[in-house]
């Protein structure tokens, strides 16, 4: 049987039920953490017609209905009405989770999280959103579970969404493929670009518009801003380094120490603020590596831009000092 797609998580269930000997059934591989609640099962014994239980045809394992099965056993019955599920064990587990999300004794948050971990292991190609729908959790919770479950293991380049379509985990990959296809086939339709790159038609339209405007197809604005800020800082720094006709000032060995000892700075609010701004010894000492390592890779460009913004600010302040001097 083909692999269960996210958009058909309910699976192929035979609509008709039939009586099956209780002795032929295998207890459920349940997403529940505890044993069958006997008190709840006894309360079901009073129900005249219980709904059929769901059983995996391949293994005869109960998917949904262990409390009903226990009630029938306690009542001394030899058989029970069954509907069959035609799928493998992985599909059957997803179906068991789905069946216990909205009916009967619903799964707890901890049980749904444990079920999501099993689904991530069974279907790593599924998107976080598809697993969230299957396990009754938020997408953010599933993303955290996936990070803890897979650790440093290699990750798939694409995942299957709820609609059954595979999409790249990193959307920039598909955009770059679309731009490359567009350069080789400038007359290609949006649908042809989308199919070649594995992206949506809307994304293909956006890539084509960016390429026609001469922009980056991925839209890496942070990197462009990074270069612009760097250029601004370098240009301003070069302007400030024009030879000064005034007499040269003898260099100070430890200028921060000299300023720190100055009472006019130490005992005024503006002076103390200036000293705090000037004290960057954490960067000059061994702490610089730790500060750099604390920033995740996806924010390095933003950090670089922020540093250059501060450089621009200090260069402007230096220009004020030189004009005042």
Least confident of 23-32, 71-80, 129-138, 237-246: 237-246
8 Å CB contact between 79 and 21: yes
CA 227 to chain CA centroid, Å, is: 28
DSSP per-residue string spanning 231-276: HHHHHHHHHHTSPP-SPPPPPPSSHHHHHHT-HHHHTSHHHHHHHH
Indicate the SS3 state at residue 85.
strand
Return the number of other C-beta atoms located less than 10 Å from residue 155's C-beta. 12
Helices (H), the chain: 38-44, 66-74, 89-99, 109-122, 128-135, 139-150, 171-184, 190-197, 201-212, 221-240, 255-260, 263-266, 269-278, 281-284, 287-293, 300-324
* Separation of alpha carbons 321 and 99, rounded Å: 73
d(CA 155, CA 169): 9
Per-residue model confidence (pLDDT) at position 171:
62
Identify which has the larger pLDDT, 247 or 201: 201
Work out the average pLDDT over 282-293. 65
Whether the pLDDT of residue 24 is over 90: the answer is yes
Give the model's pLDDT for residue 5: 43
Cα gap 276→253, rounded to integer Å: 19
**pTM confidence score:** 0.42
Residues of the chain above pLDDT 70, percent:
73
Q: What is the pLDDT of residues 177-190, one digit of tens each?
A: 888 888 888 888 88
Mean pLDDT value of segment 267-289? 73
* pLDDT tens digits, 39-64: 888 888 888 788 899 898 888 999 88
- Rounded-to-integer distance, Cα 194 and Cα 178, Å: 7
Who wins on pLDDT, 233 or 301?
301
Q: Averaged over 147-167, what is the pLDDT?
A: 53
Checking 169-174 for CB contacts under 8 A at 24+ apart, the result is 171/199, 171/203, 172/218, 174/198, 174/199, 174/203
Q: Which residue has the tokens 């269930």?
A: 13
φ, ψ (nearest 5 deg) of residue 297: -60, -35
Helix (H, G, I), strand (E, B) or coil at 284: helix
Distance CA 208, CA 137 (A): 36
Tokens coding 292: 């750099």
Residue 31: which of 127, 105, 124, 123 has the closest Cα? 105
For residue 85, what are its two tokens?
Answer: 């599920």
pLDDT at 30 (0 to 100) = 76
Compute the mean pLDDT over every residue in the chain, rounded to the nearest whole number.
Answer: 75
Q: Is 6 exposed, middle or buried (0-12, 13-18, 19+ CB in 10 A)?
A: buried
Token digits for 209?
A: 């518009």
Which range of 73-82, 118-127, 272-281 scores highest in mean pLDDT? It is 73-82
Section 135-155 average pLDDT: 75
**Contacts of 232 by beta carbon, 8 Å cutoff, 6+ apart:** 308, 312
């Amino acid at each position: 049987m083909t692999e269960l797609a996210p958009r058909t998580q309910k699976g192929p269930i035979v609509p008709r039920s039939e009586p099956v000997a209780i002795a032929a059934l295998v207890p459920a591989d349940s997403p529940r953490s505890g044993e069958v609640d006997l008190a709840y099962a006894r309360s079901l014994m009073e129900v005249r017609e219980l709904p059929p239980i769901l059983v995996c045809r391949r293994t005869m394992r109960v998917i949904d209905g262990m409390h009903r099965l226990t009630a029938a056993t306690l009542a001394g019955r030899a058989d029970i009405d069954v509907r069959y599920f035609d799928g493998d064990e992985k599909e059957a587990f997803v179906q068991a989770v789905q069946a216990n999300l909205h009916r009967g004794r619903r799964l707890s948050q901890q049980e749904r999280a444990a079920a999501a971990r099993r689904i991530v292991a069974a279907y790593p190609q599924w998107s976080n959103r598809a697993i969230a729908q299957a396990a009754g959790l938020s997408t953010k919770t599933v993303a955290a579970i996936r990070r803890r479950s897979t650790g440093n293991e290699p990750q798939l380049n694409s995942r299957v969404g709820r609609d059954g379509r595979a999409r790249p985990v990193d959307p920039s990959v598909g955009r770059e493929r679309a731009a490359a296809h567009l350069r080789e086939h400038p007359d290609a339709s949006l649908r042809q670009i989308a199919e070649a790159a594995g992206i949506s038609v809307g994304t293909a339209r956006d890539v084509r518009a960016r390429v026609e405007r001469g922009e980056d197809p991925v839209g890496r604005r942070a990197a462009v801003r990074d270069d612009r800020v760097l250029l601004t800082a370098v240009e301003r720094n070069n302007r400030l380094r024009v030879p000064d006709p005034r007499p040269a000032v003898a260099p100070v060995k430890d200028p921060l120490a000299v300023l720190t000892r100055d009472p006019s700075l130490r005992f005024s609010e503006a002076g103390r603020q200036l000293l705090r701004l000037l004290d960057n010894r954490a960067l000059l000492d061994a702490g610089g590596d730790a500060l750099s390592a604390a920033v995740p890779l996806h924010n390095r460009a933003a950090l670089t831009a922020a540093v250059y913004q501060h450089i621009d600010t200090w260069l402007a302040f230096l220009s004020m000092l030189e004009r005042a001097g």
